[in-house]
């Protein structure tokens, strides 16, 4: 166990309440995963947050800026900054909503689709490696348990 894990009271010998230990463990894991993906994306001038926005936009079709911000659990202002950076990189486009010209709709560009098609295999392999110490059954359990916690927030 790393000294940072001990510092936050993680690990089998933790004296934290199980829910607090789970929170801290999840937070540390999320930070490590985001940092690792940021390193992978850095050479192309991207961040994990930018990639997450593109993923959300692709999944949602043509969301508004507000809808994309809600999907990321982020502020309108923060997502607007990410959108501006992705527009400069020609990975996202913004167009007026035909039904309400004041509202802007986001969509991924063809350049974005080409870019991700070239990188996906390597990124997927890296993610598989990060979770390689877990069996397929353990990964399924990890996802099921995480989904239950996420669903609780969604119901709130």
Q: DSSP states of 1-44 as a string?
A: --HHHHHTT-STT--S-HHHHHHHHHHHHHHHHHHHHHHHHHTT
- Give the per-residue pLDDT at 14: 80
Question: The pTM is what?
Answer: 0.85
In the chain (156 residues long), the average pLDDT of successive 10-residue segments reads 68 84 93 97 95 96 94 94 97 93 93 94 96 98 96 89
The answer to whether 65 and 76 have CB atoms below 8 angstroms apart is yes
The answer to whether 139 and 131 have CB atoms below 8 angstroms apart is yes
**CA distances, 108 to each of 4, 57, 61, 148 (Å):** 38, 7, 9, 30
- Give the per-residue pLDDT at 133: 98
Tell me the sheet residues that pair with 2: none
* Element spanning 93, H or E: strand 92-97
Tell me the sheet residues that pair with 106: 94
- Give the per-residue pLDDT at 7: 66
The answer to whether 107 and 62 have CB atoms below 8 angstroms apart is yes
CA–CA–CA angle 152, 153, 155 (5° rounding): 65
CA pseudo-torsion sign 13, 15, 19, 25:
negative
The answer to whether 99 and 50 have CB atoms below 8 angstroms apart is no
- Give the per-residue pLDDT at 130: 98
């Amino acid at each position: 166990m790393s000294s940072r894990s001990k510092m936050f009271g993680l690990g089998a010998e933790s004296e934290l309440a199980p829910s607090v230990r789970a929170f801290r463990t999840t937070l540390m894991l999320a930070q490590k995963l985001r940092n690792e993906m940021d390193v992978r994306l850095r050479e192309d001038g991207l961040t994990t947050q930018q990639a997450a926005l593109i993923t959300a936009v692709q999944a949602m079709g043509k969301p508004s800026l507000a809808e994309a911000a809600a999907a990321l659990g982020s502020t309108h202002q923060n997502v607007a900054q990410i959108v501006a950076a992705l527009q400069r990189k020609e990975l996202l486009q913004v167009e007026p909503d035909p039904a309400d010209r004041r509202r802007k709709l986001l969509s991924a560009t063809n350049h974005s689709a080409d870019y991700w098609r070239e990188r996906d295999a390597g990124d997927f392999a890296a993610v598989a490696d990060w979770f390689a110490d877990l069996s397929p059954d353990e990964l399924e359990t990890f996802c099921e348990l995480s989904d239950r916690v996420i669903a609780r927030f969604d119901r709130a």
